[in-house]
Amino acid sequence: MTSIHDQAMNYVYQQVLQRLLGFFSRAERTALQLLIQRLVVAAGGMERIADFKVLVIQSGTLDSCYTLALLRAAQLSIAGRAPGTFQLRVATLRLNGTGPMALDNIHRSNSALFLYDDPRVELLMVDNREVMPFNHLQAIGEGAHAANRLNMLMLAHRRTWTEPLDLSDDGYLSTGEFYGQIARWDGGVNALINSDSPRQQKQFINGLSRAARRADLGMVNFTSSEIDRLFALLDNLGSDYYQAFYVNQEQAPWRPLDSFEACRRSTCIDIHDLLVAKLEERWPLLTDFLGVRSDELATHLSIQEFICPMIAAHVRGLAACFVAGNNYEAGQSEYIRRALVLMRRKHVPERLCEQAEALFADSAVMAEQRIQAAADAQKTLGLSEAQLICLLFAPFVDQGAGLERFLRRCHPGMLVAMPDLHRAMQGHPVPEQVLQWMTDVSGLPVSLIGTLYGMTSPDVDNREFGLPLDDADGSPQRDSGIIGELSAGR
């Protein structure tokens, strides 16, 4: 019975491969053979390929779904010509911005590629440092949502008010820690597949470096040409990237406990040069075969990683209004102007550029967008508009150096309580009303505000919109970061 079942499943897998190959161009078929060759060499020969385990990160973006399809084609192609094939670990990190559309894209891709129940494939997700089987229907846990929210707030508060607010820092730091840990879980993996372009690699390294400085992990000596040394560089950051913020509080450990290898043996295999198709050429494979959905305009409007563009534009509007003394619309207009420059440098179709301009041209529509973006920020990030404004001023670090400016601009009625605020951040008793106000306006417990109070703002190379405008490299158009589904209310 087992033999009959195995034969039946092998037939199904070969049918999946043939259908998948039907969507590949001649150039993609050539790239597939080069990928197989690269994996076999990394494994030490075809005779060792069955013992070779490959890790691929699946975030539900167009790029990650395409990369997964290419790897699955390689896995099934080898299985059809050799006694064994490599094992595949597919892992997803769930952050607060990872919404239903991204999870549905992952599920559809898994189903179309027949990854479920294939013993050669592991489908995993991580919530709040817990590794578990992937389940697109399982909502992110309350503990995971709260932990992600605190991590984002602590990193974003560790800056001066003159530095622009980038809510992506936690995404970079969490992703770096995730890479290091998921590669060690349950026997580890031999290689991480990296399909990011050089521009995307540089953006990730810059973001991780900035976030590591904010988390008091010291300098990260990365260069964009050292992606093959990723794991060694991540190890230099330690085993707990957030330990500086929670010295006196218990953090959730990586678990299941005792399931992580002490010594990692992983390398990084860069396959970006093998991705020959442009996004529009991949569209039939992504939509007709994998069933992937995407908010096309929101994807191209994205300037910052991990944050949907409407929330990012909302933060820009708040900064213009409350920090720069301008108006909300001016901040949104500045965001769309920069987004359009990047869109046109990447040769995004002009129809999408015109849609983006129209989206921000009507003042009545912009007012509605502000309401919707504020609701999305509250729902997905757990941050009210008042807490976002507090973040813009970062008033607690450096012993509350920016507190008076924040109060004068946003809460003048609290100026009389400024001595009590300082005492509370120093750990002294103060009236309960003062403590409650601090928690409401910041979204942080007073104990963590006190931690920030004792920290200095690090000197970092903060890039307001991630990659500078002059870093566009002309490489094939790729989608950046998490799909901007939240702007559509999903």
Mean pLDDT of 355-361: 78
Rounded to whole angstroms, how far apart are CA atoms 260 and 251? 17
Per-residue pLDDT reduced to its tens digit, 314-338 = 999 999 999 988 889 888 888 888 8
Write down the pLDDT at residue 490.
Answer: 31
Rounded to whole angstroms, how far apart are CA atoms 452 and 157? 8
Q: For residue 157, give the nearest of 359, 437, 401 by alpha carbon.
A: 401
Q: For residue 213, give the nearest of 462, 13, 379 by alpha carbon.
A: 462
Q: Find which of 86-100, 274-288, 298-312, 334-348 is predicted with most confidence, using mean pLDDT.
A: 86-100
Q: Is the Cβ–Cβ distance between 170 and 246 less than 8 Å? A: no
Read off the pLDDT band of 225 (50, 70, 90).
Answer: low
Write down the pLDDT at residue 366.
Answer: 78
Write down the pLDDT at residue 364.
Answer: 75
As a CATH number, domain 2-289 is 3.40.50
Write down the pLDDT at residue 174.
Answer: 95
Q: Is the dihedral of CA 394, 396, 400, 405 positive or negative?
A: positive
Per-residue pLDDT reduced to its tens digit, 391-434 = 999 999 999 999 999 999 999 999 999 999 999 999 999 999 99
The DSSP result for 306-319, as a single string, is TS-HHHHHHHHHHI
Write down the pLDDT at residue 300.
Answer: 72
Mean pLDDT of 244-255: 88
Q: List, as own/partner pairs, every contact residues 320-324 make where C-beta atoms lie below 8 angstroms and the sequence separation is at least 24, other chains included.
A: 322/389, 322/392, 322/393, 322/409, 322/410, 323/161, 323/392, 323/393, 323/409
What is the percent of the chain where pLDDT is above 90?
58
Rounded to whole angstroms, how far apart are CA atoms 385 and 207? 25
Chain-wide mean pLDDT for the chain? 87
Per-residue pLDDT reduced to its tens digit, 148-160 = 999 999 999 999 8
> Quick check: 476 pLDDT over 60?
no
Q: For residue 120, give the nearest of 72, 81, 80 by alpha carbon.
A: 72
Sequence-distant (≥ 6) Cβ neighbours of residue 6 within 8 angstroms: none
Rounded to whole angstroms, how far apart are CA atoms 43 and 269? 11
Query: What separation in angstroms does the CA of 394 have from each of 21, 114, 154, 155, 455?
Result: 52, 48, 10, 10, 12
Per-residue pLDDT reduced to its tens digit, 422-474 = 999 999 999 999 999 999 999 999 999 999 999 998 876 554 333 333 333 33
Write down the pLDDT at residue 464.
Answer: 39
E strand or H helix at 270, and its extent? strand 267-270
Write down the pLDDT at residue 467.
Answer: 35
Q: Cα torsion for 425, 426, 427, 433, to the nearest 10°?
A: -40
Query: What separation in angstroms does the CA of 270 have from each of 198, 251, 405, 469?
Result: 10, 33, 47, 25
Residue with tokens 């399909």: 195
> Quick check: 98 pLDDT over 60?
yes
Name which residue leads in pLDDT, 92 or 344: 92
> Quick check: 99 pLDDT over 60?
yes
Per-residue pLDDT reduced to its tens digit, 23-77 = 999 999 999 999 999 999 999 999 999 999 999 999 998 889 999 999 999 999 9
> Quick check: 168 pLDDT over 60?
yes
> Quick check: 146 pLDDT over 80?
yes
Write down the pLDDT at residue 444.
Answer: 97
For the chain, the domains span: 2-289, 395-453
Rounded to whole angstroms, how far apart are CA atoms 333 and 362? 11
Helix (H, G, I), strand (E, B) or coil at 351: helix
Sequence-distant (≥ 6) Cβ neighbours of residue 234 within 8 angstroms: 176, 177, 179, 180
Write down the pLDDT at residue 307.
Answer: 85
E strand or H helix at 56, and its extent? strand 53-57
Q: For residue 382, give the nearest of 123, 146, 88 by alpha carbon.
A: 146
Q: Which residues are paired to 197 by β-bridges?
A: none
Strands (E), 146-205: 191-194
Rounded to whole angstroms, how far apart are CA atoms 456 and 21? 55
Write down the pLDDT at residue 305.
Answer: 78
Write down the pLDDT at residue 222.
Answer: 61
Rounded to whole angstroms, how far apart are CA atoms 155 and 214? 6
